[in-house]
Amino acid sequence: MSTSTSSIASLLNSPSSAAAGAASAAVPANMQINETQFLQLISTQLQNQDPLQPTDPSQFLGQLEGLSEVSSLQNMQAAMASNQVTSGASLLNQYVLAPGTTATLASGGAIAGAVNAPTGATSLTVSISDSKGAPVTSFQVTPASSGMTSFSWNGTTSTGATAAAGSYTVAVNATVNGASQTVPPMVVSQVQSVTIDSSTQQLDLNTTSGTVPLSSVVTIL
């Protein structure tokens, strides 16, 4: 086991930098229309209009303007999505710190993470469980005086054995005024690929710990 209050970057021997990302909302599928569909719409309106009360030409001009706006928005969104993927590609094989309770232990590797210790916390207890929920080990970390408190687990179980490579669950509890308080952990994982979420149009990072929205990344290591 190990206890550490050094920076996450030093644990992985790489510099840290802030991450940010956001995506624009997509036009609902039932509101999208292309030029061909618009011309079909105009033709249908002309065929079915009342000869005694023909459609006001200004309405067609308004529809043309609307089509132009929708088309421009769709083109802009496509360009932004392309830019997101391009930016995301630069993160391939990089390590990121993001909220999460699951992390992957590689053979001979370690699991690293961090927490924002609550005010007044005198100690932090990091508990590691296997994929079936069975306790593996736990260790204490001294909260940093300010900012995030980092931690790492070198894969050693409570009995001194070496844990098998695989997925593990991380939980953190803080002692505040003598009482135990659950603290949401953040874990470090490596980016393997990037995708665009079809429902949110946001960039997702597919990491060794699962899918992480770019918007939730705290630090790129």
Among 57-61, 137-141, 146-150, 186-190, whose mean pLDDT is lowest?
Answer: 57-61
Alpha carbon separation from 49 to 36, 52, 64 (Å, rounded): 20, 9, 18
Residue 145: band (very low, low, confident or very high) from pLDDT cuts 50, 70, 90 = confident
Which of 182, 175, 183, 136 has its CA nearest to residue 159? 136
Mean of the per-residue pLDDT values for the chain? 77
Residue of higher predicted confidence among 44 and 152 = 152
CB 102 within 8 Å of CB 168: yes
Residue 17 has pLDDT above 50, yes or no: no
CB 129 within 8 A of CB 138: no
Amino acid at 44: T
Which residue in this structure is represented by tokens 């005198």?
122
Report the percent of the chain where pLDDT is more than 70: 60
Q: What is the pLDDT of residues 176-212, one digit of tens each?
A: 999 999 999 999 999 999 888 888 778 899 999 999 9
Name the H helices within the chain: 8-12, 35-48, 57-89
Whether residue 21 has pLDDT greater than 50: no
- Indicate if the pLDDT at residue 104 is higher than 80: yes
Q: Which residues pair with 153 in a beta bridge?
A: 111
Whether the per-residue pLDDT at 161 is higher than 70: the answer is yes
Q: Check pLDDT > 60 for residue 27.
A: no
pTM above 0.85, yes or no: no
pLDDT at 25: 44
Question: What pLDDT shows up at residue 71?
Answer: 56
Using alpha carbons, list the distances in angstroms from residue 54 to 19, 26, 37, 93, 207.
57, 35, 22, 63, 59
Please list, in sequence order, all residues whose beta carbon lies within 8 angstroms of the beta carbon of residue 148, skipping any fewer than 6 positions away. 8, 114, 115, 116, 186
pLDDT-wise least confident of 78-82, 99-103, 187-191 = 78-82
Alpha helices in 13-159 (DSSP H): 35-48, 57-89
Are 199 and 155 in contact by the 8 Å Cβ rule? The answer is: no
Amino acid at 99: P
Instruction: HSE, CB side, 13 Å, CA atoms: give it for residue 219.
Output: 19
pLDDT at 190: 94
